[in-house]
Amino acid sequence: MRRLPTDEPVWDLAFDEKGVLTAPAAGDFLDEVTAEGVTDLFVFSHGWGVDEQSARELYDAMFPLIRQAGSGAANLGTVGFAGVHWPALWFPPTPATPPPAVASPQAGDGALLDLSAGTAAVSGADIAASLGKGFADPEQQRTVAEIGRRIDEAVAAAGAAEPDAAKEQRLGRIHELIRSLVPPPGPDGGFEDAGETALLLDADPRTSYRAAAEAFGSAPPGSSTQGIGDWFQHAVNGAKDVLRVLSFSIMKARAGDIGRGGLGPLLATLHGRSPGLRVHLLGHSFGARLVSFALAGVGAPADSPVASLLLIQGAFSHWSFAHAQDNPFGSAGALNAFADRVRGPLVSTYSVHDWAVGVWYPKASFLARQDSEADVAGRWDGMGADGYQAVAPTGDRVMPAEGGIDYAFVPGTFYRVNAAAVIDNVAGEPFSGAHSDIRKPQVAALAAAAAAAHG
């Protein structure tokens, strides 16, 4: 345990990729929370590509802001904080093409066809070095390294006079290795991950990898269907894009596993020790999925200490809490039955400046869109693009750029908060845009407002 300068306790909760709490010892954490007399514990989970030091910097920036925003709130007592640390593997930086400005006349769907994630510019070795750090299993680490090596060998062979059969064999081996790393279907039966799964397990990588390259801008529009250019070069570039999709898929699955099997049971035990303790869950990006799936691990509603939920630019399906009636997938979302584990409001932010979730996240499901019977608008979008969908009761709010606001949150209600006036800094982030532009007093004030509205 450590402390803020204002003396509030802070715990750093480290989970491995299986959801096992590795530090501190669970008993020590539970004892210390009780001894500190905490009545309101803010639990925050970071998102993708964040190592331990970066996560701590995020928490050290946000926790004092939340404490300040919540000071004097009649409904908050003795405050404590916990930062979740988890192995969130990600992709190396790529020279992406930024989308047009929101107000630009070129900012329509057609303009998105010219976007590129910049994946072709990085080597297989670069990708393997980045992704390999996210696996604890030595065998999986070797698999990732071999994928990177074989991609670079394929790049070198692209201009060689090699028969198509040999090239297809190279591609097939890469695909076989990638398939071995694909996580199993999620608890919703896999509809949230259907797009990624369709690509990662497709039986024809020659076709699907070229389609991936086109979707992520590594090959020109129409190249996969019109035979433009060198098919093998496009397919090899597509293999790199497929690895990006794999990283999306693994992070989503891992975040859910850690939330459901690690954080959720820990919070249930904490509730048993301190029945009056209120937990306020916050998560950014894939960390939003982690804290959301913790609701599935706390047991019955009576066993849940969760008093509020805030998802900050969540990188998972906006249908996750949906009821079946208006869900285009035809069934309830994976978390639909667990919303009642939150006694207070369920809040999500969204911003048009978040390109990671608003532009690139839905592209990871492009193959399923091609195969689907109907392309429903927003079918594959993420929470950070427009907030909760097909939920009730619901409300819409706007985060002000300046000044305070009474959000008037009501327990048991889903709220979509348009944060575009605050989460808006895209400078130097051609791929993710403002996805991580969250270290703001306004975001902290939102967290405090959600917490103060607990049931």
Region of 89 on the Ramachandran plot (φ > 0 left; ψ -120 to 50 alpha; else beta):
beta
Residues 6+ apart with CB under 8 A from 158: 230, 232, 233, 236
Q: Which residues of the chain have pLDDT under 50?
A: 109-112, 373-374
In 3D space, the residue among 171, 188, 183 whose CA is nearest the CA of residue 89 turns out to be: 183
Q: Identify the pLDDT of residue 374.
A: 46
- DSSP strand pairing (306-312 vs 346-350): parallel
132: amino acid identity, one letter: G
* Cβ–Cβ under 8 Å, residues 263 and 290: yes
Q: Identify the pLDDT of residue 264.
A: 98
For the stretch 34-43, pLDDT in tens is: 999 999 999 9
Cα 404 versus chain centre, distance:
28
Q: Identify the pLDDT of residue 80.
A: 98
Q: Which two tokens stand for residue 96?
A: 């992406």
Q: How many of the other CB atoms lie within 10 Å of CB of 111?
A: 13
Q: Is 313 exposed, middle or buried (0-12, 13-18, 19+ CB in 10 A)?
A: buried
3-state secondary structure (DSSP) of residue 160: coil
Q: What's the CA gap between 366 and 217, in Å, rounded? A: 13
Q: What's the CA gap between 441 and 298, in Å, rounded? A: 30
For the stretch 421-442, pLDDT in tens is: 999 999 999 999 999 999 999 9
* Cβ–Cβ under 8 Å, residues 314 and 189: no
Q: What's the CA gap between 23 and 83, in Å, rounded? A: 12
Q: Identify the pLDDT of residue 224.
A: 66
Q: What's the CA gap between 61 and 115, in Å, rounded? A: 33
Q: Identify the pLDDT of residue 191.
A: 65
In 3D space, the residue among 87, 65, 116 whose CA is nearest the CA of residue 441 turns out to be: 65
Q: What's the CA gap between 239 and 257, in Å, rounded? A: 27
Distances (CA, A) of 351 to 177, 346, 439: 36, 17, 14
Complete domains list, the chain, with CATH: 2-89+254-452 (3.40.50), 110-251 (no CATH)
* Cβ–Cβ under 8 Å, residues 16 and 55: no
* Cβ–Cβ under 8 Å, residues 369 and 195: yes
Q: What's the CA gap between 140 and 348, in Å, rounded? A: 34
Q: Which helix (H) or strand (E) holds 84?
A: strand 79-85
Q: What's the CA gap between 353 and 450, in Å, rounded? A: 23
Q: Identify the pLDDT of residue 373.
A: 45
